Amino acid sequence: MARSGFLAGLGVLALASLALAGCATPSGGSTSPEPTPTQTLEPDPDLGAAWLDDGRMIGLVTLGSSTCVPQADQVQLADDVLHVTLAKPDTTQACTRDLVPRATLVTVPKDVDPEKNLQIEVTGDNYFGRVELDGVAGLAPGGATDYLPSAGWATAKGQFVILTWGSSTCIPVIQDVAATGPAEVKVTYQTPPENQVCTMDMTPRAAVTAVNALQDDTGVQLILTGDEFDNVKIPIYGTN
């Protein structure tokens, strides 16, 4: 009798344990998932984006070292959102401790229509950001690049990104930016050293700059002068 009572008691305890376990788990019997890294980070309020190269590229603007610009490691369009993963640059040099806006170039997937607004989500090493890039009428990215300079307004007021093509070791350095008309901006580059030796590669080079005192928000023309540019005139895509 004592043994039967002991076994009966174990059965009651087992049933009670199962009941408690059922109450501890949500519907479906699965526990709550651990938060992802992006859920624990505040979105970067300074993240910006600009269309470039007739919509073939996007310049992502982040703040950080001017000599250690992050690279776009993975780019994927899913559910109408462009997901970009940033990686540290492949360099052995030490990063400067300045804090400036710099541009990471992203090749746009073929499924993206640059004439429509685009949601962009950016992740990286302890980094998370979201930004909406307004579509620009007239952008037609079909075919390969023509290797011509281009520019696009970024998210911050007055800020824009310039894309040029040329040697990766002889990047033009901006000397001055000025509004020269109601809808005209002139960017003057420094004169390169006479003894400068440049590699013969052809790479995309992005620079972030800004201008104030423009009277018009759209249809702004950009004039590039100095260095390798002889008053080259191009539009700035989008709206300031």
How would residue 50 be classed by pLDDT, with cut points 50, 70 and 90?
very high
Structural contact between residues 140 and 57, judged by C-beta atoms closer than 8 angstroms: no
Distance CA 85, CA 127 (A): 9
Q: Tens digit of pLDDT for each residue in 18-27?
A: 333 333 333 3
Beta carbons of 186 and 151 less than 8 angstroms apart: no
Which tokens hold the place of 137? 């009428």
* Structure-block tokens of residue 48: 């910006």
pLDDT digits (tens, 9 = 90+) for 90-106: 777 789 999 999 999 99
Lowest-confidence region among 15-24, 104-113, 154-163, 197-206: 15-24
Q: Are strands 118-124 and 81-87 parallel, antiparallel or unpaired?
A: parallel
If you average pLDDT over residues 172-185, what whole number do you get? 98
pLDDT at 25: 36
Q: Is 183 helix (H, G, I), strand (E, B) or coil?
A: coil
Asked whether the beta carbons of 120 and 132 are under 8 A apart, the reply is yes
Over residues 158-181, mean pLDDT: 97
Q: Report whether pLDDT(227) > 70.
A: yes
Q: Which of 87-91, 145-149, 217-221 has the lowest mean pLDDT?
A: 87-91
pLDDT category at 1 given cuts 50, 70, 90 is very low
Element containing residue 185 per DSSP (H, E): strand 184-189
